[in-house]
Chains A and B, each alone.
Chain A
């Protein structure tokens, strides 16, 4: 029973990565109508960015949490300005193919220069507070040993997810944005610069991916293919949650992390496929996803 609790908690931790990534995807799809296949590559770039900041300039984890999403976000906005904006109004398929191509190129370049085994990135060991050094070490919860860093990941991503949801659903900026995607011509008539809003939204989604990358760097090796391994699962999360639904993708992200963790406990061989089995079931029963509305 103890082991089961431990698996639930570990599932929640993995779920926070799924939630952060699928949230970014949902924001981009909901606002831009682009199926952003480059999301995994941008997540990887976030992790690499943290690595470069530390090893080239000595800037540590805490600053990387802010700088990496901005840097990668700017890269995303350049992509949007130079390529994606020309696809506005076209079929989803074009965006998907273009971003998939971008992902392959970015991953190929990184792999060419950094190989496949990855680069080391340590858990931050500062500041020192009350006997703990940064986020290193762990706590014995009785039923499991919880690394402090993992606990931090859950709390931090929950906060980021809820803040994003609040920004889009509850603020004036979010309302403008949602209106701009519904009826760009009308919103433009109110004097709002719609193309700039779209670019900023893409930057925000990409920044979320990069943030997840920074969070994951101390846990996983910083590898060029780290995003490629994850992106398909994250897409399944978005599809199950309902394409474009912000809350749907947050909840589904955490839930699927837990379900996957339980599978790893009861039947580990199926842990890579359980998400897709669920996706098939959901699509059969409710083709719009759990929280999606019919188009």
Chain B
């Protein structure tokens, strides 16, 4: 009798042990770290959280027993606040993966922390190309766009079209500096010349002084190495000071659909710039964007940052599903994501390089005239496509330590 009972206990214990070895941890926590209240909040902000929720729903992982939570926080465009939130999220709330993280200053700071703590960052919002160059990390994937690509695409196209002298209006922080540096390099390489630069504080409302300096320089192109509200105010005030009618051309190095929407076509028409996502590209992008805008309070179409949050998470979910569970080792998951080719309706087929750069085509757009637009959010004309391999910085030029030479 005694033997039988102990055998029973032993059997149960063994079964339990075997069970726990097989059962996988299928919990994931996603942190949407973004600007929820400042000048970039329309590009990311609440829309990024909506995109993340849609990715969770579309992944179908809940039906497979996964438990996925989303948290969101406002970094207020301040690197110190960003890292404090990120540290709290990783240490206390057990967040596995960061998405969005727009603002280059915040992104570079969080990048270091994510690496130190072996979490994951799919950066869809920051522009600085340093994230996959000198600051590259085995825990970070840079998803949507970067300053090198913007410079390469828009800069080259404009120099080729005869804009060989440039004056830069640069936002005075990590992002502006990176965009100005990368664009200057492209301009000089394509045979152009940079005659001057003025650096303005982030979130300025009046650009007239800076525009007057740009006007006095007589440069053919005024390159706007800024973003969000800074860019829209620059464009609006440039029109007022007769800059474009005076023969100089404005180059929006980083412009989002929300900026064009808020400017109105009357002011924005004719601007050239580069994006990697536009809602009206194909059936896939249209279907997603329609669902997205229905969930947004102001019925806005997704920006490329928000589309990137969806696309990046869909790829992440596919990867952890294939791994079967235990998604908490950042380096391991990212390595697996790099091995797997990407494919989603928003950015099409693509790959992730060893330096963490996601590759997909870059599109050169021109803003339509008011007469060409058929309705709200019908803003862009596609004028050129660069394949992913040519759009981004080639690995041969990369200073990323993860790239074997």
Contact = CB atoms under 8 A, between A and B. Distances in A.
Interface of A: 2-3, 6-7, 10-11, 13-14, 111-120, 122-123, 137-138, 144-145, 147, 149-150, 219-221, 223, 225-226, 229-230, 261, 264-265, 268-269, 271-272
B229 interface: yes
B37 interface: yes
Given A10-B212, A229-B203, A265-B213, A116 B241 contact: no
B205 A230 contact: yes
Contacts of B242: 137-138, 145, 147
Nearest to A233: B205
Query: How many interface residues does chain B have, given as a range?
Result: 35 or more
20 contacts: A3-B212, A7-B212, A10-B209, A11-B209, A115-B298, A116-B39, A117-B259, A117-B262, A120-B263, A120-B266, A120-B267, A138-B240, A225-B38, A225-B39, A261-B209, A268-B172, A268-B198, A268-B199, A271-B200, A271-B204
B374 interface: no
A221 B237 CA distance: 10
Nearest to A257: B206
Interface of B: 37-42, 45, 172, 198-201, 203-206, 208-210, 212-213, 215-216, 228-229, 232-233, 236-237, 240-242, 246, 258-259, 261-264, 266-267, 297-298, 300
B45 A112 contact: no
Contacts of B258: 115, 117
B212 A122 contact: no
A219 B236 contact: yes
Contact of B210 (A114, A223, A268): A268
B35 to A, nearest CB: 8
A52 B95 CA distance: 43
Contact of A221 (B199, B200, B232): B232
Given A117-B258, A118-B229, A226 B205 contact: yes
Contacts of A219: 206, 236-237, 240
Contact of A272 (B204, B236, B237, B259): B204
Q: Most chain-A Cβ atoms within 10 A of its Cβ — which of B39, B212, B236, B264?
A: B212
B215 A145 contact: yes
Contacts of A220: 205-206, 233, 236
User: What 6 A-B pairs come out closest when comparing CB atoms?
Assistant: A264-B209, A120-B264, A117-B262, A272-B201, A116-B41, A115-B42
B357 to A, nearest CB: 28
A234 to B, nearest CB: 12
A32 B246 CA distance: 49
B233 A10 contact: no
Q: Most chain-A Cβ atoms within 10 A of its Cβ — which of B210, B241, B259?
A: B241
B212 A111 contact: no
B42 A149 contact: no
B203 A3 contact: no
